[in-house]
A and B are shown apart, each in its own frame.
Chain A
Amino acid sequence: MADPLLTLSGVHTHIGPYHILQGVDLVVPRGGVSVLLGRNGAGKSTTLRTIMGLLKPSRGEIRFDGRLIGGTPTPAISRAGIAYVPENMGVFSDLTVGENMQLAATQGAFDATRLSWIKALFPPIATFWEKPAGTLSGGQKQMLAVARAIIEPRRLILIDEPSKGLAPAIVTAMTRALGELKETDTTILLVEQNFAMASALGDTVSVMDDGRVVHAGDMAELSGDAGMQERLMGLSLEVHQ
Chain B
Amino acid sequence: MSETAIRPKLVAASAGDRLRKAAPLLLAPVMALAGLIAIADPATWLTLTVAGLAMGLMIFIMASGLTVVFGLMDVINFGHGAFVSVGAFVGFTVLAWLAGWTENPAVIMNLAAVFLAILASMAVTGVLGLAFERVIVAPVYGHHLKQILVTMGGLIVAQQLIHVVWGPDAIHVARPQSLRGSVIVFDAVIEKYRLFAVAIGLVLFLGMRHVLRSTKVGLLVRAGVENGEMVEALGYRIRRLFLVVFMVGSALAGLGGVMWGLYNETITAHMGSDLMVLVFIVVIIGGLGSIEGCFIGALLVGLLSNYMTFLAPKVALVSTIALMVGVLMWRPEGLYPVVKAK
Contact = CB atoms under 8 A, between A and B. Distances in A.
Contact of A102 (B4, B219, B226, B236): B219
A176 B2 contact: yes
Nearest to B5: A169
Given A54-B229, A90-B341, A93-B339, A128 B10 contact: yes
B232 A127 contact: no
B231 interface: yes
Interface residues of B, number: 31
Contacts of A176: 2
Contact of A106 (B4, B230, B235, B339): B235
Interface string A79-108: 100011010101011110001101110100
A143 interface: yes
Contact of A127 (B8, B223, B237): B8
Contacts of B63: none
Given A79-B235, A88-B341, A93-B339, A131 B222 contact: no
20 contacts: A54-B229, A73-B232, A75-B237, A78-B234, A78-B235, A88-B341, A90-B227, A90-B229, A92-B222, A93-B226, A94-B339, A95-B222, A103-B219, A103-B223, A106-B235, A123-B8, A124-B6, A124-B8, A136-B10, A139-B6
A239 interface: no
A128 B1 contact: no
A185 to B, nearest CB: 21
A92 B232 contact: no
A148 interface: yes
Interface residues of A, number: 42
Contacts of A2: none
A16 to B, nearest CB: 11
A237 B200 CA distance: 62
B236 to A, nearest CB: 6
A74 B238 CA distance: 10
B164 interface: no
Given A123-B6, A139-B6, A176-B2, A75 B222 contact: no
A106 B11 contact: no
Given A52-B233, A75-B238, 9 more contacts: A75-B237, A92-B226, A103-B220, A135-B13, A137-B11, A169-B4, A170-B2, A170-B6, A173-B6
Contacts, number: 99
Contact of A167 (B5, B216, B232): B5
Nearest to B17: A135
Interface in B140-169: none
Interface in A43-89: 52, 54, 73-75, 78-79, 83-84, 86, 88
Interface in A103-119: 103-104, 106
Tell me whether chain A's interface is mostly helix, strand or loop, or mixed: helix
Contact of A135 (B1, B6, B11): B11
A156 to B, nearest CB: 13
A170 B339 contact: no
B314 interface: no
A104 B234 contact: yes
A9 interface: no
A172 interface: yes
Contacts of B10: 127-128, 131, 135-136
A217 interface: no
B235 A99 contact: no
Most B CB within 10 A of own CB, among A75, A93, A104, A134: A75
Interface in B1-57: 1-2, 4-11, 13
B225 to A, nearest CB: 8
B137 to A, nearest CB: 19
Contacts of B1: 169, 172
Contacts of A86: 229-230, 233
A83 B236 CA distance: 12
A99 B6 contact: no
A84 B234 CA distance: 8
A122 interface: yes
Interface in B314-342: 339, 341
B223 A95 contact: yes
Interface in B191-208: none
A88 B230 CA distance: 10
Contacts of B238: 75
Contacts of B229: 54, 74, 86, 90
Contacts of B237: 73, 75
B341 A95 contact: no
B8 A95 contact: no
Nearest to B339: A93
Contacts of A128: 8, 10
